[in-house]
C-alpha cells in the first residue's frame, strides 16, 4: 500500500491579498509561511517519508526545501504539478474571475481557456498525469507532494472519484496536509485539509 500526502505551500503575500499567482512568479513565503511549513515538517518527519516531490513553483520549492532538510530526504522537482495558468487573469482577485465564470455551465467552465492561459480540463489532465507517474514509480512508500492549493483542489474529484464540480467545496489551507492511501488502483481519503498542527 502507498500513502500519498499532498501539502500546500506556506503562506505568501499574494495569498494574503487574495490574488491569483502568475505562472513561475518569484513570490516567496512570508515569515508566517515559513513557520507554517516548519510545523508541517515536524509532523512529516514522524511519517518517515520515502519520497518528496515538488512542483516547479518558487513558493512550493521553498516549502519543500524546508521539509527536505527537516526530514533528511532529498526533494525531486517534477513538471505538471504547477498551479493552473490563468494567463491574463493572473494577479486578479477570485471575485473578478467569478464574474467571467459564474454565467457558464460546468462543462463550459471545464473547457474555457482564459486569454493566454489553460483550461480546467488541460490543468486537470497534466495534474493527473504527474500524480500517476509519481505513484507508479514510487509505490509502497510514503510519498509527499508539495504543490499549490488550486492543484490540490483540482485533483480532488479524480482522487475521491466524484464529479468535477465537487472540487469547488475544497479549499486547502496553507501548509495543510491531505492524505490518501493507494491500493490496487484505488485512492482512499484518510485526512482532508488538516491544519491542526499549525495551531
Annotated binding site for substrate: 8-15, 59
Left (φ > 0), alpha (ψ -120 to 50) or beta: where does 143 sit?
beta
9 belongs to the catalytic site: yes
Residues 190 and 40: their CA atoms lie apart, in Å, by 17
Q: 12 phi and psi, to 5 degrees?
A: -125, 165
**Distance of alpha carbon 1 from its chain centroid, rounded?**
22
- Tell me the CA distances in angstroms from 117 to 85, 104, 113, 195, one per residue in order: 5, 17, 6, 31
The SS3 assignment for 192 reads strand
Per DSSP bridges, beta strands 177-183 and 186-194 are antiparallel
User: Do residues 143 and 163 lie in contact, with contact meaning Cβ atoms separated by under 8 Å?
Assistant: no
What residues form the annotated binding site?
A: 8-15, 59
- Selected catalytic residue, list 27, 62, 83, 124: 83
User: Do residues 143 and 2 lie in contact, with contact meaning Cβ atoms separated by under 8 Å?
Assistant: yes
* Nearest residue to 194 (alpha-carbon basis) of 161, 164, 159, 152: 152
End-to-end Cα distance, the chain: 30
- Selected catalytic residue, list 9, 62, 82, 118: 9
108 belongs to the catalytic site: no
Cell numbers 515538517 label which residue?
41
The set of catalytic residues is 9, 83
Amino acid at each position: 500500500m502507498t500513502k500519498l500526502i499532498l501539502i500546500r505551500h506556506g503562506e505568501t503575500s499574494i495569498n494574503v491579498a487574495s490574488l491569483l499567482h502568475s505562472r513561475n512568479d518569484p513570490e516567496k513565503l512570508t515569515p508566517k509561511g515559513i513557520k507554517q511549513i516548519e510545523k508541517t515538517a515536524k509532523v512529516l518527519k514522524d511519517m518517515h517519508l520515502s519520497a518528496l516531490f515538488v512542483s516547479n513553483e518558487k513558493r512550493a520549492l521553498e516549502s519543500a526545501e524546508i521539509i527536505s532538510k527537516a526530514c533528511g530526504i532529498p526533494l525531486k522537482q517534477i513538471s505538471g504539478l504547477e498551479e493552473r495558468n490563468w494567463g491574463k487573469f493572473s494577479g486578479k482577485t477570485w471575485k473578478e474571475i467569478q464574474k467571467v465564470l459564474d454565467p457558464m455551465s460546468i462543462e463550459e467552465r471545464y473547457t474555457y481557456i482564459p486569454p493566454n492561459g489553460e483550461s480546467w480540463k488541460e490543468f486537470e489532465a497534466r495534474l493527473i498525469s504527474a500524480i500517476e507517474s509519481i505513484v507508479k514509480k514510487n509505490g509502497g512508500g510514503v510519498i509527499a507532494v508539495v504543490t499549490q492549493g488550486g492543484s490540490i483542489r483540482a485533483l480532488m474529484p479524480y482522487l475521491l472519484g466524484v464529479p468535477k464540480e465537487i472540487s469547488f467545496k475544497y479549499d486547502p489551507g496553507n501548509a495543510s496536509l491531505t492524505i490518501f492511501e493507494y491500493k490496487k488502483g484505488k485512492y482512499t481519503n484518510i485526512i482532508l485539509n488538516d491544519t491542526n498542527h499549525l495551531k
